[in-house]
Amino acid sequence: MAVAPWQCEIYTSDRSNGCQGRTSRNGRVMSPMTLNVRQSAIDFIKTQICTVAIALTLFNSVRLPREAFRYGTLPYLVVYSLWLVLAALPASLLQLAVGQLSQQDPVGVWRAVPILRGVGHLKVITSYICCIYMMVYAALSTAYLLWIGKGSFPLKDCTRLQITPHGYENKMNASECFNSTFLAPFTLYPQYLGIMAIIIFILWFFVPILLYRLRKSLKVSLSILAPLILIFAIVLCTFLSDGKVLTSVLESCQQWMSLSEPYIWHSAMVQALLASIMIIIVNLIAGWLWVFMWESIGGESIKDTSFISILVLIYQSSVTGRRDKEWPLLAFGMVLISSIITVLILLFPVFNKLCRVFNDHWRLTAATSSALGTTLTIAVLTRGVEVATVLDELVVPVLATFTTAVEIVGFVFIYGWYYLTIDIEFLTGKQLACIWIIAWWTAPILMVGVTGWWLRTLLKVSWSQTMTLWPLVGVFIGLLKNQWLDTFGCRNDAVLNLTPKTKTILKSFRK
């Protein structure tokens, strides 16, 4: 052990020795063993709650249902489940093993493979990018939560009455409502952008306070927020879900043709990789339940597939079903809590790295990163959801696929699958099954192959429809620049010649 275990000290006091036990309310003295068992049980429950909380992020509660609506609910869920087994599960085992062995942050683990240490920085940057556009979701949920709570429902600014044979009806749908209010161009309605800027500022500076003590604060926050989402989801499903919709979805065979296209395979793969840090079984169950819940609440109407699809679904289904405003308030509140959990989980590796670099001054640096995040989120919002859509559908998928594939290649092929197997067997005390080695060998091939198929089709479509793919070009340039700077940087340069430096960084070493 690194430190000596705490032992009971003998000291005198007017009361009985404090280390002998604790007196409960009924007057019985609890032994230290009983206290340890109780504390272990509490820690176990907190750990399980945190595991469930990780499956309640926006990646599952919002992104997965949106992609399922786009490509077909049942086909997408089947492909998503397949990718969880083929790609996410091997990546999860590798990440957990490397993290436990090194006890380092996502950047520090790459000391075992110095040539690829830039991948660790890319993973932290990807988390920060995700946090930037996920804040848009959190801000929109907060805005509509406040506006519906203080006013009438539907909102007055989202009402366009027309006379019909059945009387006056509101002909403005939910998408038009969002685009004419908080997503309206700031040149036409600057007041909405001002309100959103205030909300984004509050979220960026007050939500990170929940990470004040990093791991301990994160554990407490998730233990409080996760049960709230579960309660909200159970209430919504109990009173608003329609079983007939789920039956029609399960019996439908019209959307299985999408399996012949690369988009569904690539989208499901990215969704699985974004969830690879989670417990796979919990993530699998939660993903199916989230999709079925929103399908049943949304009814039989055509689902919106834009970046804010779930927010549109909540508003549109509430207006169409003539529900009281308490129901959209409950749904928007659930999405807001899910957004907070997402931001906390995404910011944790960023703040953890800042803590390791700046030590006691990391909180000041974290406040600076919050200021930068506020500026970037407002800049994203000035273009509506256009920039957020590009980040979510082009930039982050490429980064997630690249970092995961290179991570597996780096540790399995460069560090060596033989040494990796020995390390994992030392960690678990059991012999590693050969299926895991086969999975590590095949996962990068599958990921690169599907990504290449997707890029080829995307380039053909963009060429014929004159679409721009400059964001992808920027991502690839950024990947090359980041890898070059981290590999051949001048940090601790004892050798300035490229050849000996290359030999130095290619030489893997083990702690």
CB neighbour class for 208 (10 Å; exposed up to 12, middle 13-18, buried from 19): buried
The tokens for 4 are 């000596």
Nearest residue to 61 via CA among 279, 232, 242: 232
Query: Model confidence at 172, in pLDDT bands (50, 70, 90)?
Result: confident
For residue 260, the SS3 value is: helix
Task: Calculate mean pLDDT across residues 80-105.
Answer: 86
For residue 9, the SS3 value is: coil
What is the spatial distance between Cα 367 and Cα 350, in angstroms, rounded to a whole number? 12
* Pairing mode, strands 22-23 and 167-170: unpaired
What is the spatial distance between Cα 65 and Cα 271, in angstroms, rounded to a whole number? 11
Nearest residue to 196 via CA among 136, 151, 238, 277: 136
Nearest residue to 138 via CA among 349, 397, 371, 380: 380
Angle at Cα 303 formed by Cα 297 and Cα 315, nearest 5°? 55
Instruction: Count CB-CB contacts under 10 A for residue 336.
Output: 20
Q: What's the pLDDT at 50?
A: 81
In a domain, 14, yes or no: no
In a domain, 35, yes or no: no
**Overall residue count recorded for the chain in this entry:** 511
In a domain, 27, yes or no: no
Query: pLDDT by residue (tens digit) across 40-61?
Result: 777 778 778 888 888 899 999 9
Residue 364 has pLDDT above 70, yes or no: yes
For residue 436, the SS3 value is: helix
Residue 197 has pLDDT above 90, yes or no: yes
The tokens for 9 are 């000290």
Out of 216-225, 269-278, 281-290, pick the least confident.
Answer: 269-278
In a domain, 1, yes or no: no
Helix or strand holding residue 130 (H, E): helix 118-150
In a domain, 432, yes or no: yes
Q: How many domains are contained in the chain?
A: 1
CATH of the domain at 273: 1.20.1740
Which structural domain, as residue segments, surrounds residue 245? 45-506
For residue 169, the SS3 value is: strand
In a domain, 23, yes or no: no
Out of 123-127, 169-173, 354-358, pick the least confident.
Answer: 169-173
In a domain, 493, yes or no: yes
Q: What is the pTM of this model?
A: 0.85
In a domain, 2, yes or no: no
